[in-house]
Amino acid sequence: MDSRARRIGENEILFREVNVQLRALDARLGVANVDSHAFLCECGNIDCRERIRLGVDDYERIHADPAQFAIVPGHERPSVEYVVERHDDYAVVRKREEGPADLARDHAPG
């Protein structure tokens, strides 16, 4: 895997980890049972600060596969991932095998 693909993957992993921490904070504050949440876009752009709203169940379903990430539509990076779902407010990308997917799996939460 080249350094660009690794950097993109590491950025996506960072945003996923922040979202996991936000969910944990919600649980401590007693707001964990809300139907939807404003998650950070998990794209590979370290400067992205956009949010996506999706159901907590959908978020957990997406991340049941650690090679998948929830992003703002249009933020996908075809060189390292492909879109597996498109919705009005968000898209789901899956890391390509060999390298990017392995990195995502190796850094899956929990």
Cα separation of 69 and 8, whole Å?
A: 12
58: tokens are: 């959908």
Q: Which residues are within 8 A (CB) of 56 and not within 5 positions of it... i.e. 6 or more apart?
A: 23, 34, 35, 36, 37
At residue 33, does pLDDT exceed 70?
A: no
Q: Is the pLDDT of residue 69 over 70?
A: yes
DSSP calls for 47-68? T---EEEEEHHHHHHHTTSTTE
- Per-domain residue ranges for the chain? 3-106
pLDDT at 65 > cutoff 70: yes
pTM of this prediction exceeds 0.85: no
φ, ψ of residue 78 to 5 degrees: the values are -55, -25
